[in-house]
Structure 1
Amino acid sequence: MPDSLDRPLRLILASSSRYRRELLERLRLPYEVIVPAIDEAPLAGEAPAATALRLAEAKARAVALGIDAGQRALVIGSDQVATFDGHPIGKPGTHEKALAQLQAMRGREVEFHSALCLLDSGDGSAQVEDVVTRVRFRDLPDAELDAYLRTETPYDCAGSAKSEGLGIALLDAIDSNDPTALIGLPLIALTRMLRSAGYPLLRGAR
């Protein structure tokens, strides 16, 4: 619980992602960003959902280790793994790899695991949740896929399509109970966790 409603706990986002920062800004809460230093490689034989959950908590715990013992903070860790035909899909990095991803996924469904962890550095307790989003891609010709990529250059996004931007034109349907999960930070789940931790969510808004 926070020390008082007038002085809430520090809120720290354990992420280097600009997309997660932009999403957290929507809550109008004071927060800090500390980038965790962890190995994000999946473990051998690890299921995609398990990878996302493990890394979300690992990011939060890595940042919590650097917080002074006399302080308390709520640390937000998040990780997303996209899967297609049961295999994880990484960030393409290049135009050629992004085009290959979109070509393989057109007319098909892709599953995104957006894992979230809210860690209380005071006692080490953590709330964790995997928010699943299913996305069905339209069956579009190569020329349209290529034109989209050259317009939005989403090479740092798993799945090669930004649903919050022009990438929505590539999608036929999105099935999720948290619309922000696909972008990278499930805000419905996060606000639920913050309330459970006693954080004065609306009174702390700026």
Structure 2
Amino acid sequence: METLILASGSRYRKHLLQRLQIPFSVLPPDIDESPLSGEPAIALAERLAATKAEIIGRDHPGSVVIGSDQVALLDEALLGKPGTVANAEAQLALCSGRVVEFFTAVCVYWDGAMQQTNVPYQVEFRELTSAEIKRYVELEQPLDCAGSFKCEGLGSTLFRRLNGEDPTALEGLPLIALSSMLRHWGIDPLQRQV
């Protein structure tokens, strides 16, 4: 089996990839993740996923490298990682009663060849009180999550409905799409790994 590398410093992506039970290493790339002027959210996610995979892949020939990036969009505004409690509370107040779109891009790079996809997901928030927002942020501390929530935890209490093909895309790494891409490169989680 080829060496598999996750080009990400995200503990969430690492945890998700571990579900596939394939040995891998983690090498976070050092890149500027700022959007380009006028760059659409989907294009931003795809560019960053591809850049992460390609940078690590060029330095590790023969390795299969996974890059991924997620962008959250409320109307036309990008929702970044809040970083602080105040920012998380403000972000959730903006999301209350509204729909946030997530675009999670994943790219698999192997010796100059690349395969990429983008998996959309929509989150419809219920109307949230300021007390609920404060308590949620206090309990889960979602300061490193775009949109200021963790859907795999208490974040599910914030929603009216979710809409998408792959719930792991919302967590940061679309495992359904990634599994298909890895099989394309001869890496199958359901085959005995040697």
Q: TM-score, normalised by structure 1?
A: 0.92
Aligned residues of 1:83 and 1:89 also touching (Cα < 8 A): yes
**SS at 2:34's partner residue?**
coil
1:197 corresponds in structure 2 to: 185
Match for residue 101 of structure 2 among 93, 107, 111:
111
* Deviation, structure 1 residue 202: 1.5
**Residue of 117, 121, 136 corresponding to 2:124:** 136
Q: Structure 1 regions of 5+ residues with no counterpart?
A: 1-7
Q: Which stretches of structure 1, 4 residues or longer, exceed 4 Å deviation after superposition?
A: none
C-alpha contact 2:179 2:188 (8 A) present in aligned 1: no
3-state SS of 2:160 partner:
strand
- Pick from 45, 55, 59 the counterpart of residue 66 of structure 1: 59
How far is 1:204 from its partner? 4.1
CA contact (8 A) 1:48 1:83 kept: yes
Alpha-carbon separation, structure 2, partners of 1:83 and 1:77: 20
Secondary structure of the residue aligned to 2:177 is helix
Confirm whether residue 83 of structure 1 aligns to residue 45 of structure 2: no
SS in 2 for 1:180: helix
Q: Secondary structure at the match of 2:59?
A: coil
Paired AA for residue 97 in structure 1? N
Amino acid at match of 2:24: Y
Q: 1:30 matched to which residue of 2?
A: 23
Aligned residue pair count: 194
* SS of aligned partner of 2:115: strand
Q: 1:139 to 1:37 in 2, by over 3 A?
A: same
The letter of the residue matching 2:134 is: D
Counterpart-to-counterpart distance in 2, 1:14 and 1:170: 31
TM-superposition CA deviations, 1:75-120 (whole Å, max 9, x none):
0000000000111110000111111111111000000000000111
Deviation at 1:172?
1.0
CA distance in 1: counterparts of 2:161 and 2:72, whole angstroms: 16
34, 59, 75: which is aligned to 1:41? 34
Partner of 1:17: 10
* TM-score where L is the length of structure 2: 0.97
CA contact (8 A) 2:149 2:155 kept: yes
Larger Rg: 1
Residues of 1 paired with 2:95 and 2:192: CA distance?
A: 42
